[in-house]
Amino acid sequence: MTIKDISLISNIFGFMRFNLLIKKKYKKKDNFNIIIIGIPSEITCTGKPGSKLAPTSIRIESMHLIWEKYKWPWNFKLNKKIKIIDGGDLIYKTGNIKNLNYNIYKKIINILKIKKNFLILGGDHYITLPIIRACKKKYKKISLIHFDAHTDTYYEKNIFDHGSIFYQIKKEKLISKSNIIQIGIRTYIKKNHPFKIITSEEVNNSSHKNILKKIKKIIKKNPTYISFDIDCLDPSYAPGTGTPVINGINIDKILKIIRNLKNINIIGIDIVEVSPIYDPSNITSLTAATIANEFLHIQTKYILKKKKWKKK
Residue 35 confidence (pLDDT)? 98
Residue 1 pLDDT? 43
The whole-number pLDDT of residue 310 equals 56
pLDDT over 90, % of the chain: 80
> Which residues of the chain are modeled with pLDDT < 70?
1-3, 6-7, 9, 162, 308-312
pLDDT at 46: 80
Whole-angstrom distance, CA of residue 156 vs CA of residue 190:
14
CA distances from 141 to 109, 176, 196, 224 (A): 16, 8, 17, 9
| pLDDT for 312 | 46
- Which fold does the domain 30-307 belong to in CATH? Arginase; Chain A (3.40.800)
pLDDT tens digits for 185-205?
Answer: 999 998 899 999 999 999 999
End-to-end CA distance of the chain: 36
Asked if 241 contacts 235 with a C-beta cutoff of 8 angstroms, the reply is yes
